[in-house]
Each structure stands twice: as C-alpha cells, then as structure tokens.
C-alpha cells in the first residue's frame, strides 16, 4: 500500500512539474512573439529608410544637379549603416523564428506527456484493502 501511495505521489509531483514546464514555455512564447513583432517593425523601418536613401542618392547623381560631395558621402554612409542594421534585424528575426519553432515542438511534446500522465492518474483504480477481522459485528 505504501508503494502505491509513493508511486501516486511521484506521479502527482511529475504532473505538477510538467504543468509548470508548460506554463514556462507559454511565457517564452509570449516573449519571443513580442520580440518577433518588434524585429518585424524594425525591418520594415530599415527597408523604408533604405529605399529613401537610395532615392536620395539617385537624385544626387542625377544630371543637372550639382551635389555637394560631403552630402553624397554622408548619404552613402547612412546607406551602409542602414544595410548593416537591416541585415542584423533580419538575422535576429530568423533566429527568433527558429527558437519559437523549437519551443513549439517542446510545448507539444510536454503537453502530450502531461495529458497522458493526467489521464493515467485519473484512470488508475485505487483498491482499498480492508481487514475483515476489524469489521464491526
């Protein structure tokens, strides 16, 4: 009887730890999804900035416009910086997406294990043994 109780306690402890793990993974989802949306906004911003800088350079190169060399150089440097930033955020976005996929897989596996253990605990029959000699007559 003691081993059944110990086994039940171990299962309940494991069930609680699996539930805690599921909750932790759900919190990670939220954090990663927030980071993904922030990097998506940054990518959009740098895409727009890059397009604007390219238009600026095209205007400075255009015939008939006397461009100040320092202005052209400044815009070119901004373009390089924008490209670096855009590359950084695209790389970060990709890493976050793969991390999110990894957590989704982990979540599915943990949730499946949790549900199976919960089902087995709920389906377990508890057999109580009574000593017939202690029965009231």
8-28 confidence digits (pLDDT tens)? 778 888 888 989 999 999 999
Structural domains in the chain, CATH included, are 10-122 (1.10.287.1700)
- Please report which confidence band the pLDDT of residue 1 belongs to, taking 50, 70 and 90 as the band edges: very low
Contact indicator for 105, 25 with CB cutoff of 8 Å? no
The helix or strand, by DSSP H or E, that contains position 98, with its residue range, turns out to be helix 69-123
24's tokens: 């932790």
pTM: 0.68
How confident is the model at residue 11, as a pLDDT?
81
- Report the alpha-carbon angle 131-136-137, nearest 5: 120
How confident is the model at residue 57, as a pLDDT?
80
117 closest CA partner among 2, 6, 15 = 15
Q: Rounded to an integer, what distance in angstroms lies between the CA atom of residue 117 and that of residue 14?
A: 8
Question: Per-residue pLDDT tens for 35-52?
Answer: 999 999 999 999 999 999
% pLDDT > 70, the chain: 84
């Amino acid at each position: 009887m003691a081993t059944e109780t110990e086994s039940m306690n171990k299962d309940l402890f494991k069930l609680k730890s699996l539930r805690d793990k599921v909750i932790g993974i759900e919190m990670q989802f939220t954090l990663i999804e927030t980071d993904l949306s922030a990097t998506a906004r940054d990518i959009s911003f740098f895409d727009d900035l890059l397009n604007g800088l390219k238009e600026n350079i095209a205007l400075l190169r255009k015939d008939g416009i006397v461009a100040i060399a320092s202005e052209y150089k400044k815009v070119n440097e901004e373009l390089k910086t924008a490209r670096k930033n855009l590359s950084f955020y695209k790389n970060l976005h990709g890493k976050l997406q793969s991390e999110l996929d990894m957590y989704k897989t982990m979540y599915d596996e943990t949730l499946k294990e949790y549900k199976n253990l919960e089902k087995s605990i709920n389906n377990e029959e508890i057999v109580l043994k009574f000593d017939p000699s202690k029965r009231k007559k």
